């Protein structure tokens, strides 16, 4: 079964609705909702996942929060139960989202494949092995680690090439932007299955990069 076949649009809609209900309930009541039994049964397998909150119809960079787990350590429902709240109130780049703001925010869900290190003898090989629009990247050196999702280099008319994507991933890890040229820096790739609301609380669609 391909990655695209693992989750239907209907399942993506269930997960995003669950994430939104969880966020809005927390912002009202300062506690998460219980996980519905249907969600537990359908999404018990372990996955890494990120929940992203974007301002709707805002030019430039509309990001309002994004938090997730890289590794498939927890069940998918548990990850979304945790990180949907974190994306709203714990992203250190932004103040906490307010309940009123949720009227103007669209939710994006990225379900990740397990990351795999890209083996190279020469860092120039990364330029051939990484595909924009398919791969997300992780840069890791020592205790520093940074991740950018596959949609980042193409969203909001960025049009990054592979080298620019590598530069920004290293910067996300608080490394020099050219740290990927050092073989002591490990570069991992992964893919993502993406779902997104078309409008706040609106129809959910599979997102193709």
Superfamily of domain 3-113+192-206 in CATH is: Hypothetical protein ph0010; domain 1 (3.30.700.20)
pLDDT(4) > 80: no
Q: Could you tell me if 136 and 147 are in contact, meaning their C-beta atoms sit under 8 angstroms apart?
A: yes
Q: Is 160 helix (H, G, I), strand (E, B) or coil?
A: coil
Task: Determine the Cα–Cα distance for residues 126 and 183; give it in Å rounded to an integer.
Answer: 11
H/E stretch holding 42: helix 37-42
Task: Please give the mean pLDDT across all residues of the chain.
Answer: 93
Query: What pLDDT, on the 0 to 100 scale, is given for residue 207?
Result: 83
Would you identify the CATH topology of the domain 116-190?
Dna Ligase; domain 1 (3.30.1490)
Model confidence over 31-73: pLDDT tens digits?
A: 999 999 999 999 999 999 999 999 997 766 689 999 999 889 9
Task: Determine the Cα–Cα distance for residues 94 and 189; give it in Å rounded to an integer.
Answer: 27
Model confidence over 161-183: pLDDT tens digits?
A: 999 999 999 999 999 999 999 99
Q: How large is the average pLDDT for residues 22-38?
A: 96
CATH 3.30.1490.150 location in the chain = 116-190
- pLDDT band at residue 6 using 50, 70 and 90 as cut-offs: confident
Model confidence over 94-132: pLDDT tens digits?
A: 999 999 999 999 999 999 999 999 999 999 999 999 999
pLDDT(5) > 70: no
């Amino acid at each position: 079964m391909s990655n695209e076949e693992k989750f239907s649009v209907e399942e993506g809609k269930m997960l995003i609705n669950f994430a939104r209900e969880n966020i809005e309930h927390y912002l009202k009541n300062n506690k998460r909702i219980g996980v519905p039994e249907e969600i537990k049964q359908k999404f018990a397998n372990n996955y890494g996942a990120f929940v992203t909150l974007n301002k709707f119809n805002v030019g430039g960079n509309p990001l309002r929060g994004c938090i997730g787990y890289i590794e498939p350590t927890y069940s998918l429902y548990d990850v979304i139960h945790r990180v949907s709240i974190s994306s709203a109130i714990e992203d250190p780049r932004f103040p906490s989202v307010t309940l009123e703001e949720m009227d103007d925010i669209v939710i994006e869900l990225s379900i990740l494949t397990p990351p795999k290190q890209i083996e190279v003898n020469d860092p120039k090989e990364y330029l051939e092995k990484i595909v924009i629009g398919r791969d997300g990247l992780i840069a890791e050196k020592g205790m520093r680690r940074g991740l950018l999702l596959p949609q980042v280099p193409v969203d909001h008319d960025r049009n990054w090439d592979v080298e620019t994507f590598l530069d920004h991933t290293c910067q996300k890890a608080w490394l020099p932007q050219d740290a990927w040229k050092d073989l002591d820096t490990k570069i991992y790739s992964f893919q993502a299955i993406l779902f997104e609301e078309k409008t706040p609380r609106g129809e959910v669609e599979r997102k193709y990069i």
